[in-house]
Amino acid sequence: MAGGIWSGAKVRPGTYVNLKNGKAPTAAKSTTGVVVIPLIGYDYGPREVFIKLPGDNPDSKKELLGRSVYDDESHMRLIRFAAMNASTIYVYIPKGGTAASTTLTVGEASVNVTAKYPGTLGNKIKIAVVEDPSGGYDFMVVLDGSTVENFEGIKNLSAVDSKYITLDKTDVTLSAAIASKALAGGTDDSTNDGASDFLNACEKLKFNTMLFPLTDEGLHESVKSKIKYIRNSIGWKCKAVVPNYAADYEGIINQTNAAIVDGRDLTVAETAAWRAGLDAAASYTKSNTYAVFEGATGIVGGGYTNEKAEEAIKNGESFLTIDEHGNVVLEYDINSKVTFDPEDPTDINKNRPMKVYDTFANDCLMTFTPNKFNNDDQGWDAMEGIGRGMLQNYERDGALKNVDTNADFVVDRENSTGDAVYINVALQPVDSAEKYYMTVIAK
Protein backbone atom coordinates (compact mmCIF):
# COMPACT_ATOMS: atom_id res chain seq x y z
CA MET A 1 0.00 0.00 0.00
CA ALA A 2 1.22 3.47 -0.83
CA GLY A 3 1.95 5.92 1.96
CA GLY A 4 4.15 8.81 3.05
CA ILE A 5 3.36 12.46 3.55
CA TRP A 6 1.06 14.59 1.44
CA SER A 7 1.01 18.14 0.11
CA GLY A 8 -1.86 17.73 -2.36
CA ALA A 9 -3.95 15.06 -4.09
CA LYS A 10 -2.16 11.72 -4.53
CA VAL A 11 -2.44 9.32 -7.50
CA ARG A 12 -2.26 5.97 -5.70
CA PRO A 13 -4.66 4.67 -3.05
CA GLY A 14 -3.06 4.63 0.39
CA THR A 15 -2.60 6.40 3.70
CA TYR A 16 -0.60 9.60 3.78
CA VAL A 17 0.30 11.15 7.15
CA ASN A 18 1.72 14.61 7.86
CA LEU A 19 3.16 15.20 11.34
CA LYS A 20 2.60 18.70 12.75
CA ASN A 21 2.80 20.38 16.13
CA GLY A 22 -0.71 20.40 17.55
CA LYS A 23 0.11 23.18 20.01
CA ALA A 24 -0.47 26.67 18.70
CA PRO A 25 1.99 29.35 19.83
CA THR A 26 0.86 30.93 23.08
CA ALA A 27 1.52 34.18 24.86
CA ALA A 28 4.28 34.35 27.47
CA LYS A 29 3.75 36.02 30.84
CA SER A 30 6.31 38.51 32.05
CA THR A 31 7.62 38.49 35.59
CA THR A 32 6.21 40.51 38.50
CA GLY A 33 7.27 41.28 42.05
CA VAL A 34 10.98 41.73 41.27
CA VAL A 35 12.92 44.51 43.01
CA VAL A 36 16.59 45.36 42.46
CA ILE A 37 18.68 47.27 45.01
CA PRO A 38 22.30 48.51 44.90
CA LEU A 39 24.25 48.02 48.12
CA ILE A 40 26.62 50.94 47.64
CA GLY A 41 29.44 50.98 50.20
CA TYR A 42 28.35 47.68 51.75
CA ASP A 43 31.00 46.04 53.94
CA TYR A 44 30.99 42.44 52.66
CA GLY A 45 29.90 40.13 49.87
CA PRO A 46 30.61 39.14 46.25
CA ARG A 47 31.20 42.04 43.91
CA GLU A 48 29.59 42.80 40.55
CA VAL A 49 27.01 40.00 40.65
CA PHE A 50 23.30 39.97 41.41
CA ILE A 51 22.42 38.07 44.57
CA LYS A 52 18.89 36.67 44.34
CA LEU A 53 16.86 36.69 47.55
CA PRO A 54 13.36 35.18 47.72
CA GLY A 55 10.88 37.60 49.23
CA ASP A 56 9.42 34.94 51.52
CA ASN A 57 12.90 33.95 52.76
CA PRO A 58 15.22 36.92 52.28
CA ASP A 59 17.58 35.61 54.95
CA SER A 60 18.60 32.62 52.83
CA LYS A 61 21.95 34.05 51.67
CA LYS A 62 23.57 35.05 54.96
CA GLU A 63 26.87 33.48 53.92
CA LEU A 64 27.02 35.88 50.96
CA LEU A 65 25.93 39.01 52.80
CA GLY A 66 27.79 38.16 56.01
CA ARG A 67 24.82 38.98 58.21
CA SER A 68 21.09 38.47 58.55
CA VAL A 69 18.76 40.83 56.69
CA TYR A 70 17.09 41.28 60.10
CA ASP A 71 20.30 42.84 61.42
CA ASP A 72 20.02 46.54 62.28
CA GLU A 73 22.30 47.63 59.45
CA SER A 74 21.25 50.27 56.93
CA HIS A 75 21.57 48.12 53.79
CA MET A 76 19.83 45.18 55.44
CA ARG A 77 16.92 47.42 56.37
CA LEU A 78 16.45 48.27 52.69
CA ILE A 79 16.20 44.58 51.84
CA ARG A 80 13.88 43.91 54.75
CA PHE A 81 11.39 46.64 53.85
CA ALA A 82 11.39 45.70 50.16
CA ALA A 83 10.72 42.07 51.12
CA MET A 84 7.48 43.06 52.84
CA ASN A 85 5.83 42.97 49.40
CA ALA A 86 8.33 41.83 46.76
CA SER A 87 8.50 38.20 45.66
CA THR A 88 12.16 38.47 44.63
CA ILE A 89 14.90 40.92 45.55
CA TYR A 90 18.15 41.20 43.63
CA VAL A 91 20.96 43.01 45.40
CA TYR A 92 24.16 44.18 43.75
CA ILE A 93 27.42 45.11 45.46
CA PRO A 94 29.72 47.15 43.17
CA LYS A 95 33.42 46.40 42.84
CA GLY A 96 35.91 47.78 45.32
CA GLY A 97 37.43 47.09 48.70
CA THR A 98 39.91 44.43 49.80
CA ALA A 99 39.44 41.17 51.66
CA ALA A 100 40.65 40.74 55.23
CA SER A 101 43.34 38.12 55.86
CA THR A 102 45.71 36.62 58.38
CA THR A 103 48.32 33.86 58.63
CA LEU A 104 47.99 30.74 60.76
CA THR A 105 50.95 28.71 61.89
CA VAL A 106 49.95 25.05 61.61
CA GLY A 107 52.87 22.91 62.71
CA GLU A 108 55.70 23.97 60.46
CA ALA A 109 53.39 25.37 57.77
CA SER A 110 52.23 28.95 57.33
CA VAL A 111 48.67 29.03 56.00
CA ASN A 112 47.21 32.25 54.63
CA VAL A 113 43.55 32.71 55.54
CA THR A 114 41.52 35.20 53.49
CA ALA A 115 37.93 36.30 53.87
CA LYS A 116 35.78 34.97 51.05
CA TYR A 117 34.76 38.48 50.00
CA PRO A 118 36.08 42.05 50.31
CA GLY A 119 34.91 44.42 53.02
CA THR A 120 35.52 45.54 56.58
CA LEU A 121 33.09 42.98 57.98
CA GLY A 122 35.82 40.45 57.21
CA ASN A 123 37.88 42.08 59.95
CA LYS A 124 35.38 40.62 62.41
CA ILE A 125 36.19 37.05 61.35
CA LYS A 126 38.25 34.99 63.78
CA ILE A 127 39.69 31.51 63.40
CA ALA A 128 40.17 29.14 66.32
CA VAL A 129 41.26 25.50 66.48
CA VAL A 130 40.54 23.48 69.63
CA GLU A 131 41.10 19.85 70.46
CA ASP A 132 37.98 17.68 70.07
CA PRO A 133 37.44 15.25 72.99
CA SER A 134 36.32 12.61 70.49
CA GLY A 135 39.50 12.95 68.46
CA GLY A 136 40.94 15.40 65.99
CA TYR A 137 40.34 19.13 66.17
CA ASP A 138 37.42 21.53 65.83
CA PHE A 139 38.15 24.26 63.29
CA MET A 140 35.84 27.19 64.05
CA VAL A 141 35.01 30.27 62.01
CA VAL A 142 33.62 33.06 64.18
CA LEU A 143 32.00 36.16 62.66
CA ASP A 144 31.21 39.17 64.83
CA GLY A 145 31.15 37.02 67.96
CA SER A 146 29.01 34.18 66.60
CA THR A 147 30.31 30.83 65.41
CA VAL A 148 29.11 30.51 61.82
CA GLU A 149 31.01 27.31 60.97
CA ASN A 150 32.50 24.47 63.02
CA PHE A 151 34.34 21.66 61.28
CA GLU A 152 34.39 19.06 64.03
CA GLY A 153 36.95 16.35 64.67
CA ILE A 154 39.07 17.03 61.59
CA LYS A 155 42.72 16.08 61.28
CA ASN A 156 43.63 17.87 58.07
CA LEU A 157 42.80 21.30 56.65
CA SER A 158 41.51 19.60 53.51
CA ALA A 159 38.29 19.00 55.49
CA VAL A 160 37.67 22.75 55.82
CA ASP A 161 35.09 23.64 53.16
CA SER A 162 34.19 27.11 54.34
CA LYS A 163 31.69 29.61 52.94
CA TYR A 164 33.42 32.46 54.75
CA ILE A 165 37.17 31.98 54.26
CA THR A 166 39.69 30.47 51.85
CA LEU A 167 42.97 28.75 52.74
CA ASP A 168 45.97 28.91 50.44
CA LYS A 169 47.12 25.49 51.70
CA THR A 170 44.79 22.61 52.49
CA ASP A 171 46.94 19.46 52.64
CA VAL A 172 48.19 20.38 56.10
CA THR A 173 47.86 18.12 59.14
CA LEU A 174 46.52 19.58 62.37
CA SER A 175 48.66 18.59 65.34
CA ALA A 176 47.85 21.20 67.98
CA ALA A 177 45.25 23.73 69.04
CA ILE A 178 45.53 27.26 67.65
CA ALA A 179 44.53 30.30 69.68
CA SER A 180 41.81 32.54 68.26
CA LYS A 181 43.19 34.80 65.57
CA ALA A 182 41.40 37.67 63.83
CA LEU A 183 41.56 38.58 60.17
CA ALA A 184 42.55 42.16 59.38
CA GLY A 185 43.08 44.59 56.54
CA GLY A 186 39.63 44.40 54.97
CA THR A 187 38.45 47.66 53.37
CA ASP A 188 35.28 49.01 51.76
CA ASP A 189 34.68 51.16 48.71
CA SER A 190 33.43 54.34 50.35
CA THR A 191 32.63 56.18 47.10
CA ASN A 192 29.49 56.24 44.95
CA ASP A 193 31.46 55.31 41.84
CA GLY A 194 29.88 51.86 41.80
CA ALA A 195 26.44 53.32 41.10
CA SER A 196 27.21 53.55 37.38
CA ASP A 197 28.34 49.91 37.32
CA PHE A 198 25.10 48.93 39.01
CA LEU A 199 22.95 50.86 36.55
CA ASN A 200 24.76 49.34 33.58
CA ALA A 201 24.39 45.84 35.03
CA CYS A 202 20.63 46.36 35.35
CA GLU A 203 20.31 46.42 31.57
CA LYS A 204 20.58 42.62 31.57
CA LEU A 205 18.13 41.98 34.41
CA LYS A 206 14.37 41.52 34.07
CA PHE A 207 13.12 43.50 37.06
CA ASN A 208 9.96 45.46 37.77
CA THR A 209 11.08 48.17 40.17
CA MET A 210 14.47 49.49 41.18
CA LEU A 211 15.11 51.03 44.56
CA PHE A 212 17.81 53.68 44.25
CA PRO A 213 18.45 54.83 47.83
CA LEU A 214 21.20 57.41 47.30
CA THR A 215 20.51 61.14 47.61
CA ASP A 216 23.10 62.47 45.13
CA GLU A 217 21.17 64.59 42.59
CA GLY A 218 23.65 63.85 39.82
CA LEU A 219 23.12 60.13 40.33
CA HIS A 220 19.36 60.69 40.24
CA GLU A 221 19.68 62.00 36.70
CA SER A 222 21.71 58.91 35.82
CA VAL A 223 18.94 56.69 37.18
CA LYS A 224 16.34 58.50 35.09
CA SER A 225 18.49 58.17 31.97
CA LYS A 226 19.06 54.46 32.59
CA ILE A 227 15.39 53.69 33.24
CA LYS A 228 14.50 55.58 30.05
CA TYR A 229 17.09 53.60 28.13
CA ILE A 230 15.86 50.25 29.44
CA ARG A 231 12.23 51.18 28.74
CA ASN A 232 12.69 52.78 25.33
CA SER A 233 15.77 51.16 23.78
CA ILE A 234 15.89 47.69 25.32
CA GLY A 235 12.11 47.51 25.49
CA TRP A 236 11.70 46.13 29.01
CA LYS A 237 9.24 48.24 30.98
CA CYS A 238 10.35 48.95 34.54
CA LYS A 239 10.36 51.77 37.08
CA ALA A 240 12.54 53.12 39.86
CA VAL A 241 11.64 54.52 43.26
CA VAL A 242 13.97 57.33 44.30
CA PRO A 243 13.81 59.42 47.50
CA ASN A 244 13.07 63.10 46.95
CA TYR A 245 13.56 63.23 43.20
CA ALA A 246 11.02 65.20 41.16
CA ALA A 247 11.89 63.50 37.88
CA ASP A 248 8.69 64.41 35.98
CA TYR A 249 8.82 60.99 34.34
CA GLU A 250 6.43 58.06 34.40
CA GLY A 251 9.30 55.65 35.03
CA ILE A 252 10.29 57.29 38.33
CA ILE A 253 8.31 57.25 41.59
CA ASN A 254 9.29 60.13 43.89
CA GLN A 255 8.97 59.09 47.55
CA THR A 256 9.02 62.17 49.77
CA ASN A 257 8.22 61.20 53.37
CA ALA A 258 8.93 58.38 55.79
CA ALA A 259 7.20 56.03 58.23
CA ILE A 260 7.78 55.30 61.89
CA VAL A 261 8.24 51.57 62.55
CA ASP A 262 8.95 49.92 65.92
CA GLY A 263 9.44 53.35 67.47
CA ARG A 264 12.14 54.26 64.96
CA ASP A 265 12.03 57.00 62.34
CA LEU A 266 12.75 55.44 58.98
CA THR A 267 14.70 57.34 56.39
CA VAL A 268 12.94 58.30 53.18
CA ALA A 269 15.18 55.76 51.42
CA GLU A 270 14.00 52.98 53.74
CA THR A 271 10.40 53.95 53.12
CA ALA A 272 11.18 54.00 49.41
CA ALA A 273 12.31 50.37 49.77
CA TRP A 274 8.84 49.46 51.01
CA ARG A 275 7.37 51.54 48.17
CA ALA A 276 9.49 49.70 45.59
CA GLY A 277 8.34 46.30 46.82
CA LEU A 278 4.74 47.49 46.79
CA ASP A 279 5.01 48.74 43.21
CA ALA A 280 6.78 45.64 41.91
CA ALA A 281 4.23 43.29 43.45
CA ALA A 282 1.12 45.08 42.20
CA SER A 283 -0.73 43.28 39.41
CA TYR A 284 -2.20 45.13 36.45
CA THR A 285 -5.59 45.04 38.18
CA LYS A 286 -4.48 46.63 41.43
CA SER A 287 -3.94 50.18 42.55
CA ASN A 288 -1.75 50.81 45.58
CA THR A 289 -3.72 53.87 46.63
CA TYR A 290 -4.36 53.54 50.38
CA ALA A 291 -2.17 50.43 50.63
CA VAL A 292 -1.35 49.89 54.31
CA PHE A 293 2.26 50.02 55.54
CA GLU A 294 2.03 47.06 57.90
CA GLY A 295 3.79 47.68 61.20
CA ALA A 296 4.04 51.44 60.75
CA THR A 297 2.69 53.47 63.66
CA GLY A 298 3.14 56.99 62.37
CA ILE A 299 4.74 59.34 59.88
CA VAL A 300 8.02 61.16 60.47
CA GLY A 301 7.20 64.83 60.96
CA GLY A 302 3.48 64.08 61.02
CA GLY A 303 1.09 63.75 58.10
CA TYR A 304 0.54 66.45 55.50
CA THR A 305 -2.18 69.06 55.82
CA ASN A 306 -4.87 69.03 53.16
CA GLU A 307 -3.20 71.89 51.31
CA LYS A 308 0.22 70.23 51.51
CA ALA A 309 -1.21 66.91 50.29
CA GLU A 310 -2.87 68.55 47.30
CA GLU A 311 0.35 70.36 46.43
CA ALA A 312 2.35 67.12 46.74
CA ILE A 313 -0.02 65.26 44.42
CA LYS A 314 0.20 68.05 41.84
CA ASN A 315 4.00 67.76 42.11
CA GLY A 316 3.92 64.02 41.41
CA GLU A 317 4.97 62.95 44.91
CA SER A 318 4.47 59.54 46.48
CA PHE A 319 3.80 60.02 50.19
CA LEU A 320 2.25 58.42 53.25
CA THR A 321 -0.83 59.57 55.09
CA ILE A 322 -3.02 58.40 57.97
CA ASP A 323 -6.38 56.90 57.02
CA GLU A 324 -9.67 57.06 58.94
CA HIS A 325 -8.72 53.94 60.93
CA GLY A 326 -5.31 55.20 62.02
CA ASN A 327 -3.35 53.12 59.51
CA VAL A 328 -0.29 54.48 57.75
CA VAL A 329 -1.15 54.23 54.05
CA LEU A 330 0.08 55.33 50.66
CA GLU A 331 -1.95 58.42 49.77
CA TYR A 332 -2.11 58.07 45.98
CA ASP A 333 -0.55 55.56 43.59
CA ILE A 334 1.06 57.97 41.16
CA ASN A 335 4.47 58.43 39.61
CA SER A 336 6.43 61.65 39.16
CA LYS A 337 4.97 62.54 35.75
CA VAL A 338 3.45 66.05 35.82
CA THR A 339 4.13 67.40 32.32
CA PHE A 340 2.19 65.79 29.48
CA ASP A 341 3.00 65.74 25.78
CA PRO A 342 0.15 65.54 23.23
CA GLU A 343 1.02 61.89 22.51
CA ASP A 344 1.06 60.85 26.19
CA PRO A 345 -1.90 58.83 27.48
CA THR A 346 -3.84 60.99 29.91
CA ASP A 347 -3.54 58.35 32.64
CA ILE A 348 0.21 57.78 32.29
CA ASN A 349 0.87 59.31 35.72
CA LYS A 350 -1.34 56.70 37.43
CA ASN A 351 0.53 53.52 38.28
CA ARG A 352 -2.35 51.07 37.80
CA PRO A 353 -2.93 52.06 34.13
CA MET A 354 0.84 52.25 33.71
CA LYS A 355 1.09 48.67 34.97
CA VAL A 356 -1.36 47.63 32.23
CA TYR A 357 0.65 49.37 29.51
CA ASP A 358 3.94 48.06 30.88
CA THR A 359 2.79 44.49 31.50
CA PHE A 360 1.29 44.24 28.02
CA ALA A 361 4.52 45.55 26.49
CA ASN A 362 6.61 43.08 28.50
CA ASP A 363 4.28 40.20 27.64
CA CYS A 364 4.64 41.12 23.96
CA LEU A 365 8.42 41.29 24.33
CA MET A 366 8.42 37.77 25.76
CA THR A 367 5.88 36.42 23.24
CA PHE A 368 6.78 37.92 19.88
CA THR A 369 10.42 36.88 19.77
CA PRO A 370 12.52 37.03 16.58
CA ASN A 371 12.18 34.12 14.14
CA LYS A 372 9.09 32.71 15.89
CA PHE A 373 6.62 33.45 13.09
CA ASN A 374 6.69 33.63 9.32
CA ASN A 375 6.16 37.10 7.89
CA ASP A 376 3.22 35.97 5.72
CA ASP A 377 -0.52 35.47 5.95
CA GLN A 378 -0.16 32.35 8.06
CA GLY A 379 2.24 34.05 10.47
CA TRP A 380 0.12 37.19 10.66
CA ASP A 381 -2.95 35.13 11.47
CA ALA A 382 -1.04 33.44 14.28
CA MET A 383 0.22 36.78 15.64
CA GLU A 384 -3.25 38.28 15.60
CA GLY A 385 -4.72 35.20 17.24
CA ILE A 386 -2.23 35.34 20.09
CA GLY A 387 -2.47 39.12 20.49
CA ARG A 388 -6.26 39.11 20.53
CA GLY A 389 -6.19 36.28 23.05
CA MET A 390 -3.96 38.44 25.25
CA LEU A 391 -6.45 41.31 25.04
CA GLN A 392 -9.30 38.98 25.99
CA ASN A 393 -7.33 37.69 28.97
CA TYR A 394 -6.59 41.22 30.12
CA GLU A 395 -10.26 42.14 29.77
CA ARG A 396 -11.37 39.03 31.63
CA ASP A 397 -8.94 39.86 34.45
CA GLY A 398 -10.34 43.37 34.71
CA ALA A 399 -7.29 45.17 33.34
CA LEU A 400 -8.85 46.37 30.05
CA LYS A 401 -12.31 47.48 28.96
CA ASN A 402 -14.14 47.99 25.66
CA VAL A 403 -11.95 45.45 23.87
CA ASP A 404 -12.76 44.97 20.19
CA THR A 405 -10.81 41.83 19.35
CA ASN A 406 -11.04 42.35 15.60
CA ALA A 407 -9.89 45.97 15.66
CA ASP A 408 -7.59 46.30 18.69
CA PHE A 409 -4.77 43.99 17.58
CA VAL A 410 -4.15 44.15 13.84
CA VAL A 411 -1.09 43.36 11.74
CA ASP A 412 -0.43 46.02 9.11
CA ARG A 413 -0.17 43.51 6.30
CA GLU A 414 0.55 46.06 3.60
CA ASN A 415 3.65 47.45 5.29
CA SER A 416 4.90 44.21 6.87
CA THR A 417 7.57 43.07 4.43
CA GLY A 418 10.98 41.43 4.61
CA ASP A 419 11.77 40.83 8.28
CA ALA A 420 9.70 43.77 9.59
CA VAL A 421 6.23 43.33 11.08
CA TYR A 422 4.04 46.28 12.04
CA ILE A 423 1.21 45.72 14.51
CA ASN A 424 -1.36 48.27 15.66
CA VAL A 425 -2.67 47.75 19.20
CA ALA A 426 -5.34 49.70 21.08
CA LEU A 427 -5.58 49.51 24.89
CA GLN A 428 -8.04 51.11 27.30
CA PRO A 429 -6.91 50.29 30.85
CA VAL A 430 -9.29 50.01 33.77
CA ASP A 431 -8.39 52.28 36.68
CA SER A 432 -9.55 52.00 40.27
CA ALA A 433 -12.34 54.13 41.72
CA GLU A 434 -10.36 56.45 43.98
CA LYS A 435 -12.38 59.69 43.99
CA TYR A 436 -16.08 59.57 44.83
CA TYR A 437 -18.21 62.59 43.92
CA MET A 438 -21.65 62.34 45.50
CA THR A 439 -24.64 64.60 45.35
CA VAL A 440 -27.04 64.15 48.24
CA ILE A 441 -30.57 65.50 47.80
CA ALA A 442 -32.82 65.93 50.78
CA LYS A 443 -36.23 64.34 50.35
Rounded distance between C-alpha atoms, residue 149 and residue 436, angstroms: 59
Angle between helices 351-367 and 377-397 (to 10 degrees): 150
| Parts of the chain with a pLDDT under 70 | 1-28
- Residue 9: the pLDDT is 59
- Residue 121: the pLDDT is 98
DSSP calls for 369-412:
-TTSS-SSHHHHHHHHHHHHHHHHHHHHHTSB-S--TTTSEEE-
- Residue 18: the pLDDT is 47
Does the domain formed by 34-94+190-330 have CATH 3.30.565.10? no
Contacts by residues 167-173 (CB-CB < 8 Å, ≥ 24 positions apart) = 167/111, 167/112, 167/113, 168/111, 168/112, 168/114, 169/109, 169/111, 169/112, 172/106, 172/107, 172/109, 172/111, 173/106, 173/107
Which tens digits make up the pLDDT trace of 146-178? Answer: 999 999 999 999 999 999 999 999 999 999 999
Q: In the CATH scheme, what is the code of domain 101-182?
A: 2.60.40.4290
Maximum alpha-carbon separation in the chain: 101
- Residue 10: the pLDDT is 58
- Residue 1: the pLDDT is 39
Domain residue spans of the chain: 3-28+340-424, 34-94+190-330, 101-182
Which tens digits make up the pLDDT trace of 243-275? Answer: 999 999 999 999 999 999 999 999 999 999 999
